[in-house]
């Protein structure tokens, strides 16, 4: 007999007007997720934000990350934006946010290249990847961080397919996601539900000896392949997802699915 479904509790907003001490943080986590864990001070968080032509969303995305008050540093790499994004970022810089560091590439190189640069610049012991759009909600950070702070995982993925609230995505996008995740599971003996998710949180030591080559959207399959080849089991948690449409600036294209499939196969065979 199945257990009756409990109504979903609405998560409280994380306060932004004062610093959270450990007791306040754990109390907030208990009320947010029905669990409790200690925020370990020896595991500071770096949030990595690759950004390209996101003038309509980048400011709000950064402010949402700042509002969590969980990141000791926010590393944003602007990848050659030409739509006014840089003017928005310079205004944010002028506000003097101590945790916010912004770097400007001289040309567009791709998401993977921006992330590799951000990883080299980050100093935190835990890293979370955050897109500069509003598809992923930083209020999900606590559920991503909990397995890392409890020491039960070294890599955590936020899955869009584990029952969390989500805006319905395009059918063919969903099919491509499912097929690529299935390919990942077959090639690397895993049971992931969402390989292509943006929300990847991981300990710094996971990438210490990892050579990453991706320049574009093939970062997701390359990173996943190399994590799994280390023998690391990826821990998945449900997240919220508010996918945007092509007309709203979504950049990934159907051709990227074939590149991702080749990337998974390539790194199964070699490094």
- Structure token digits, residue 258: 């074939």
Confidence band for 243, pLDDT divided at 50, 70 and 90: confident
pLDDT band at 251 (very low <50, low <70, confident <90, very high): low
Q: Quick one: which of 240, 241, 234, 243 has its CA closest to 32? A: 240
pLDDT for 166 = 73
Q: At what angle do helices 219-229 and 171-188 cross, to 10 degrees?
A: 30
Distance in angstroms (rounded) separating the CA atoms of residues 46 and 126 = 6
Looking at 137-214, list the stretches that DSSP marks H as alpha helix, in order from N- to C-terminal side.
141-149, 171-188
pLDDT tens-place string over residues 73-132: 999 999 999 999 999 999 999 999 999 999 999 999 999 999 999 999 999 999 999 999
258 versus 245: which is more confidently predicted? 258
In the sheet where 45-51 sits, what is the strand order?
A: 100-104, 73-78, 45-51, 126-129, 200-203, 155-159, 235-238
Question: Which residues are CB-neighbours of 5 under 8 A, at least 6 positions away?
Answer: none
Separation of alpha carbons 111 and 212, rounded Å: 12
Euclidean distance between the first and the last CA atom of the chain, given in angstroms as a whole number: 47
pLDDT band at 20 (very low <50, low <70, confident <90, very high): very low
**CA-CA-CA-CA torsion sign (101, 38, 162, 202):** positive
How far is it, in rounded angstroms, from Cα 239 to Cα 161? Answer: 8
- Among 109, 130, 126, which Cα is nearest to 207's? 126
Give the 3-state secondary structure of residue 259: helix
The DSSP secondary-structure symbol of 204 reads G
Q: Would you say residue 174 has pLDDT above 60? A: yes
Whether the pLDDT of residue 4 is over 50: the answer is: no
Cβ atoms within 10 Å of 19's Cβ, excluding its own:
8
Residue 69, token pair as written in the block: 């008050």
Q: Which two tokens stand for residue 201?
A: 């949180």
Can you spell out the DSSP letters for 114-144? Answer: HHHHHHHH---SEEEE--SSSSS-GGGHHHH
Supply 260's token pair.
């991702």
pLDDT value for 23: 47
Calpha distance 114→257 (Å, rounded): 20
Instruction: Count the helix, strand and coil residues of the chain and give each as a percent rounded to the nearest 5.
Output: 40, 15, 45
Q: Where are the beta strands (DSSP E) in the chain?
A: 45-51, 73-78, 100-104, 126-129, 155-159, 200-203, 235-238
Domains of the chain: 22-269 (3.90.550.10)
- Match 């895993």 to its residue by tokens: 190
């Amino acid at each position: 007999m199945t257990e009756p479904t409990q109504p979903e509790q609405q998560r409280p907003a994380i306060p932004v007007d004062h610093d959270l001490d450990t007791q306040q943080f754990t109390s907030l986590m208990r009320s947010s997720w029905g669990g409790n864990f200690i925020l370990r001070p020896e595991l500071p968080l770096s949030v990595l934000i690759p950004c390209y032509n996101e003038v309509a969303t980048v400011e709000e995305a950064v402010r949402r990350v700042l509002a969590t008050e969980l990141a000791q540093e926010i590393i944003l790499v602007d990848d050659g934006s030409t739509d006014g994004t840089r003017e928005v970022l310079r205004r944010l810089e002028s506000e003097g946010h101590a945790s916010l560091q912004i770097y400007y590439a001289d040309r567009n190189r791709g998401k993977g290249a921006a992330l590799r640069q951000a990883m080299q610049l980050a100093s935190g012991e835990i890293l979370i990847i955050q897109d500069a759009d509003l598809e992923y909600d930083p209020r999900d950070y606590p559920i991503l961080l909990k397995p890392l702070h409890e020491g039960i995982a070294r890599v955590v993925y936020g899955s869009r397919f584990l029952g969390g609230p989500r805006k319905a995505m395009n059918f063919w996008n969903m099919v491509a996601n499912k097929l690529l995740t299935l390919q990942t599971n077959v090639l690397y003996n895993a049971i992931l539900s969402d390989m292509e998710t943006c929300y990847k949180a991981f300990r710094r030591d996971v990438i210490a000896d990892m050579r990453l080559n991706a320049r574009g959207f093939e970062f997701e399959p390359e990173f996943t392949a190399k994590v799994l080849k280390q023998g690391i089991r990826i821990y998945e948690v449900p997240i919220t997802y508010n996918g945007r449409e092509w007309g709203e600036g979504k950049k990934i294209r159907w051709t990227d699915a074939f590149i991702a499939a080749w990337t998974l196969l390539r790194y199964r065979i070699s490094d």
